Structure formats: structure tokens, C-alpha cells
Amino acid sequence: MQDGLARQLRLWEEVTAPSSNGQDFGDPAFAANKSRPIHRWVPWIAGFSGEFVKNALRRYLDRPGLVLDPFAGVGTTLVEALLLGHQAVGFEINPYAALACRVKTTAYAIAPEKLYSEMARFQDFYHSRVGIGQHRCAPVHPCRQQHHSGRRPGGKSPDDRPVIRSRC
């Protein structure tokens, strides 16, 4: 047991951090993710930057393998592992972070052509139902027209005085 612990401690002494020259481990903080696709979707203060994770994976995994992230957060490690051809498994107890993780790790699996096709299909559906530049709503009864002009949500007039409605 003591022997194993000594071996682990020696590893810390033997491993030196590479210099930050853009090829190795630069800034490990999440700040760099603010401008990167997928990673910028969900800011997470406790996360690593995608570049940091990518550089670590390239340095320590010379062939495709399985990456386990027991504290996945919003999935930066998992996304970078998948992009580099690794399998990736993560665990996250925070439901919000777990959802973000699932969304981000499946985003690259969607073919852009399929996404564009579905967007066009939705636009066609929307325009067929709503129309462009056409009013498809039922006309307002003349008695009620006075109550519909210039009103904000909640029925208040622009000058914030209460609106009193009368019946026709």
C-alpha cells in the first residue's frame, strides 16, 4: 500500500507542466470558451476551456479510447473527446448541467443538411399557417376596437392609468 502511494507521489514530481505556446496547456479556465461554437452555449465558471481539454487529450491519449468524466459539468471534456474520436462517458448530478451536457454532446451528431431541411420545412409550415404580411386573426368587433388600440400587456394604457372597460 505504501509502495503504491509513493509511486503516485513520484508521478507528481516527474510530470512537468508544458510551456504555454499554443500547442500545450494554455489557460485552463472556461474564459476561452466564450468564443467557441458549442462551448459558448452554456457559460460555466467551473469549467475547463475546450483548448485545454483538447491539448490534454492529444498529449495523453495517443489513440482513440474511452474518456470518463465523473464531474462532467456542461460537457466540455466530453465534447472535445468526441471531436477527437474518443468514446466519452460523463456523470453530472446538476440537472441543468446534465441537460446542457446532453445537448452539447449530441449537437455534432446532427447533419447540417438535415437541420437546414427541417428549418425550411418549419418555415413553409409557418408561412402556410400565418402568412407573411397578412392578418389572419379574426377582426376585432367594432365595440371592442377602442379597447385594443395602444394597450400594453396587462391591459394598461401607455400612460399607465388603469383602463376601465365598458360593455357594449
Q: What is the pLDDT of residues 9-34, one digit of tens each?
A: 555 455 444 444 445 555 555 556 66
Alpha-carbon distance of 130 to 51, in angstroms, equals 44
pLDDT at 19 (0 to 100): 47
pLDDT at 68 (0 to 100): 94
Q: How many residues does the chain have?
A: 168
Q: Where are the domains of the chain?
A: 2-112, 141-168
State the average pLDDT over residues 94-101.
90
Type of residue found at 138: A
What is the three-class DSSP state of 25?
coil
125-144 CB burial, b ≥16 within 10 A, e <16: eeeeeeeeeeeeeeeeeeee
- Sequence-distant contacts of 106-112: CB under 8 A, at least 24 apart: 107/38, 108/38, 108/79, 108/82, 108/83
Residue from 17, 28, 16 nearest 53 by CA: 28
pLDDT tens-digit series, residues 30-89: 556 666 666 656 666 677 788 888 999 999 998 999 999 999 988 889 999 999 999 999
